[in-house]
């Protein structure tokens, strides 16, 4: 069977992660790069692939089966639209767009053309998350009631040298980091009905928040609390505990996600399951067991899934509509933090264009 030819648009930090993933994944081949950066010619030469001036030039060569879009956020929609209009399936890095309206425009294009759009909320491909979702779906913790998530990621001053990271509406840990947690909460609970929130830029004094907290109320009655900071020191974050990308982040033996249901509880990333051995009461001891796990690189799993999507064998695990809901929730968190009021999350009709994608 011939290799799946994958193009990359955007060879920054996450683009390089995708390039390395393609290199080490059997059955996939990097076929070209689009990126105007000064280091890109060196990267393309090292990978022995062509460097294109723009997306149109990559398309014209006709040597891509699918393209990963890992550009700055403001280019997500125009670049993906060009590719989808050309009939090329897209794996688009999060967030799907800068605004919900832009995201809906992209969904309409995908729906009209029938070309698949997969959004790169890569944690969904992590076997830890798959095991947690399976436990919830099978009822091993009963009905999911509440969750607590913490994300403390101290970022050095050099991180903020990139202008977009301090640009309101584009930078800040809500959109850069917390959107991953929002996606997982959607995955576990379902749609968010309303949010309350607070945010602050008091520590760094930048134009974007450095710390925020939100309470999500879900349509099914569940409630989750989430806190994020890129100026607070601590290992309590998925990036620093799950061991997903140890080339960039050390893995610490701590937990960052706590899920509680009517019959049991679950912590992540260790997959510790807690339940009563006998009578269900706070007066009785809980027993602990670790759920089974088969280790797998989530980026490798994601690229293999993308290959199956390109071949028409699978529907996108993270659809454009789901990613748009994540963005709408971030919008509501920002509004709630500004107003100090409980804020409803924009809802989407059942027949909302979704790029002919299947929700997980």
Same domain, 284 and 154: yes
Q: How confident is the model at residue 247 (pLDDT cuts 50, 70, 90)?
A: confident
Q: What is the mean pLDDT of the chain?
A: 95
pTM, 2 dp: 0.94
Is 350 a residue whose pLDDT tops 60?
A: no
- Express each pLDDT in 273-296 by its tens digit: 999 998 999 999 999 999 999 999
Same domain, 58 and 196: no
Domain that includes residue 41, residue range = 4-121+299-316
Instruction: Report yes or no on 254 lying in a domain.
Output: yes
Same domain, 154 and 283: yes
Is 357 a residue whose pLDDT tops 70?
A: no
pLDDT, mean of residues 140-158: 98
Same domain, 97 and 171: no
CATH code, domain with 179: 3.30.360.10
Q: What percent of the chain has pLDDT over 90?
A: 93
Instruction: Report yes or no on 244 lying in a domain.
Output: yes
For the chain, what is the domain count?
2
Same domain, 58 and 195: no
Res 245: pLDDT: 84
Where among 260, 293, 326 does a domain terminate? 293
Beta carbons within 8 Å of 123's beta carbon, 6+ residues apart: 129, 180, 183, 184, 238, 244, 298
Instruction: Report yes or no on 342 lying in a domain.
Output: no
pLDDT, mean of residues 229-234: 98
pLDDT, mean of residues 153-158: 96
CATH code, domain with 93: 3.40.50.720
Same domain, 76 and 185: no
């Amino acid at each position: 069977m011939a290799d799946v030819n994958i193009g990359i648009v955007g060879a920054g930090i996450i683009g390089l992660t995708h390039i390395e993933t393609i290199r080490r994944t059997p059955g996939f081949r990097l076929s070209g790069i689009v990126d105007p950066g000064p280091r890109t010619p060196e990267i393309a030469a090292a990978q022995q692939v062509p460097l294109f001036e723009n997306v149109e030039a990559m398309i014209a060569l006709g040597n891509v089966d699918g393209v990963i879009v890992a550009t700055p956020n403001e280019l997500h929609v125009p670049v993906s639209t060009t590719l989808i209009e050309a009939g090329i399936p897209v794996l688009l890095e999060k967030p799907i767009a800068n605004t919900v309206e832009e995201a809906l425009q992209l969904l309409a294009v995908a729906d009209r053309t029938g070309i698949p759009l997969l959004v790169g909320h890569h944690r969904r491909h992590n076997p830890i998350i798959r095991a947690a979702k399976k436990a919830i779906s099978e009822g091993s913790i009963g009905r999911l009631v509440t969750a607590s998530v913490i994300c403390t990621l101290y970022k050095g001053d050099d991180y903020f040298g990139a202008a977009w990271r301090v640009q309101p509406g584009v930078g800040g840990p809500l959109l850069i980091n917390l959107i991953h947690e929002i996606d997982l909460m959607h995955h576990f609970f379902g749609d968010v009905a309303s949010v309350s929130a607070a945010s602050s830029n008091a520590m760094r004094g930048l134009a974007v928040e450095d710390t925020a907290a939100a309470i999500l109320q879900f349509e099914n009655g569940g409630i989750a609390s989430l806190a994020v900071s890129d100026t607070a020191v601590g290992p309590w974050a998925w990036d620093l505990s799950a061991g997903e990308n140890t080339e960039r982040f050390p893995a610490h033996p701590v937990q960052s996600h706590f899920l509680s249901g009517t019959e049991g509880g679950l912590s992540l990333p260790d997959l510790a399951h807690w339940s009563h051995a006998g009578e269900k009461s706070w007066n009785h001891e809980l027993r602990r067991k670790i759920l089974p796990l088969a280790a797998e690189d989530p980026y490798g799993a994601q690229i293999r899934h993308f290959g199956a999507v390109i071949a028409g064998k699978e529907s996108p695990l993270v659809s454009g509509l789901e990613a748009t809901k994540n963005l709408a929730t971030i919008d509501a968190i920002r509004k709630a933090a500004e107003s100090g009021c409980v804020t409803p999350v924009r809802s989407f009709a059942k027949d909302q264009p979704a790029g002919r994608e299947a929700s997980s």
